[in-house]
Structure 1
Amino acid sequence: MKQTLKALIIEDEELARNLLKSYLKDHPSLELIGECENGFEGVQKINELKPDVVFLDIQMPKITGFEMLELLDHKPEIIFTTAYDQYAIKAFDYNAQDYLLKPFSKERLLKAIDKVQERIDKGERSTNRLEQLSTYAVEEYLDRIVVKDRHKINIIPVDQVRYIESLDDYVLIYTQDGRHMKQKTMKYFESNLNPRDFIRIHRSYIVHIEDMAEIQQYEKESYVVILKDKTKLKVSKTGYKRIKESLHF
């Protein structure tokens, strides 16, 4: 017997939400439990209602669908519904459940639901793959970082980031206003921050170049970076080499 799927729609366009609802209304094993107009609302609803499957747009106001995925405690199956084809290759690289390019037919949508149904009926879940998927934002350098702090979502422009510190499976993001914790790797930020603006000086630190005040030697071949607020950060040998290459000295 097929398990009833609890479904949620996250889509900023009312016409698109209405079309999805009309396609889904007669599905025998799917219960639509809600709809959201933006990613902020989506995070709250997913963590609260714990749907089995989410129909998710990518380009939305406030935060994108990919940014929203980073903030979830509950990890549902994701079916992307979007007008933008440039994200498809990466989505499939990370085994997204499906990627529907607008305008799509009812038959195409039902086929996507069948794939989710089959996985769930077999007891399979895409939690780890969804975590992988959320590491991908867009094929450009980050211009902002989205962080959830209890019930609040902060959007931090990268030009406000002073430095980033590794903390096991998390990072601490330091700004002029304080610090924020995010479950991401240093490798993710090293790859996704513009190297003209940020440099990894140590396995534990990535620094905004503009926030560096001086580089000081304290032992033979040992250095520290001193930031504008007098914070001192260790520099590895590789980090020192990167600094020299970046600042051309």
Structure 2
Amino acid sequence: MNKPLQVLIVDDEELARRLSMEYLRTHSDIIIAGECETGVEAVDAIQKLNPDLILLDIQMPELSGLEVLEVTGRRSGVIFTTAYDQYALKAFDLHAVDYLLKPYSQQRFDEALTKARKLLSAETSGIPATQALSQLISEQGEKMQRLLIRDRGQVHVVALDSIEYVEAQDDYILIHAAGKSYMKTQSLSELEAQLDAARFVRVHRSFLLSLAALKSIEKASKDSQVAVLHNGAQVPISRAGHERLKNLLN
């Protein structure tokens, strides 16, 4: 790439941010676009600045590095910085995603930048370099205990235990949790694949239900049934959905 690279530094440790800035000074093709202390700050900065490269801490307050990528949809131009041990980083090795293990040297830092430049050049040449990162985020999401929803510049963190049901609406899903509703750009099938099948069941092509929220199953008509929730809401149940419910409840 001929033009300078805009780099965003994201780390909750000030000393780590200072070290990255010091190492970056030796690279004439780098412009520091900004720095962030929390995951929430990083979400806003990524949306506003759209940097070429992000030096991203994995463990941070409020949102982790992977959660930042999930909320923003960022899938390229990322170098993780972390204090994780080598064993915990096996997932990153398997996905060929580069990371810097703290404390890291100038030499190791430079190697990561070289790799990042090659990946960014490959992307501009039309070669996809985002699949590994997407897979890593998806696999980590399978272990999630909360949903992250960005709406009108705000990031909502919704605990899975608070979710009552989710309904599909065109290209969105509407998540009903603890008396509130949140809209997210995601398919119902994608969310279903991420959630624990022992806790959430697809009761209808357009509805996903939390078993903990279920109060009873009642007839809506001669040939149809509804799930009545503890909050009073009613969710339609298809024949296939009724079979799934029976298998889980028996």
Q: Against the structure 1 CA distance between its residues 211 and 224, is the aligned structure 2 distance closer, same or farther, given a 3 Å change threshold?
A: same
Q: Against the structure 1 CA distance between its residues 81 and 232, is the aligned structure 2 distance closer, same or farther, given a 3 Å change threshold?
A: same
Q: Tell me the distance in 1 between the aligned counterparts of 2:187 and 2:135.
A: 12
Indicate the percent of aligned positions where both proteins have the same amino acid.
35
**Superposed counterparts of 1:142-153, under 5 Å:** 142-153=144-155
Q: Against the structure 1 CA distance between its residues 131 and 167, is the aligned structure 2 distance closer, same or farther, given a 3 Å change threshold?
A: farther
User: Does 1:102 pair with 2:105?
Assistant: no
**So what's the TM-score if we normalise by structure 2?**
0.85
Q: Could you say what secondary structure the match of 2:80 adopts?
A: strand
Q: Against the structure 1 CA distance between its residues 181 and 6, is the aligned structure 2 distance closer, same or farther, given a 3 Å change threshold?
A: same
**Superposed counterparts of 1:80-91, under 5 Å:** 80-84=80-84, 85=86, 88-91=89-92
Q: Tell me the distance in 2 between the aligned counterparts of 1:121 and 1:9.
A: 20
User: Does 1:194 pair with 2:196?
Assistant: yes
CA-atom RMSD, angstroms? 2.6
Give the equivalent residue in structure 1 for 2:169: 167
Shift of 1:78: 0.9
**Superposed counterparts of 1:1-249, under 5 Å:** 2-72=2-72, 77-84=77-84, 85=86, 88-91=89-92, 96=97, 98-122=98-122, 123-124=124-125, 126=129, 131-137=134-140, 140=143, 142-218=144-220, 222-248=224-250
Q: Against the structure 1 CA distance between its residues 169 and 130, is the aligned structure 2 distance closer, same or farther, given a 3 Å change threshold?
A: farther
Shift of 1:214: 1.4
**So what's the TM-score if we normalise by structure 1?**
0.85
- C-alpha distance after superposition, 1:23-63 (max 9, x if no partner): 21111211112111111000111111121000111111011
- Does structure 1 conserve the Cα–Cα contact (< 8 Å) formed by 2:141 and 2:194? no
- Does structure 2 conserve the Cα–Cα contact (< 8 Å) formed by 1:6 and 1:31? yes
- Note the residue ranges of structure 2 that are not aligned, 5 or more in a row: none
Shift of 1:11: 0.7
Larger mean CA deviation between 171-180 and 3-12 belongs to: 171-180
- Note the residue ranges of structure 1 that are not aligned, 5 or more in a row: none
Q: How many residues align?
A: 246
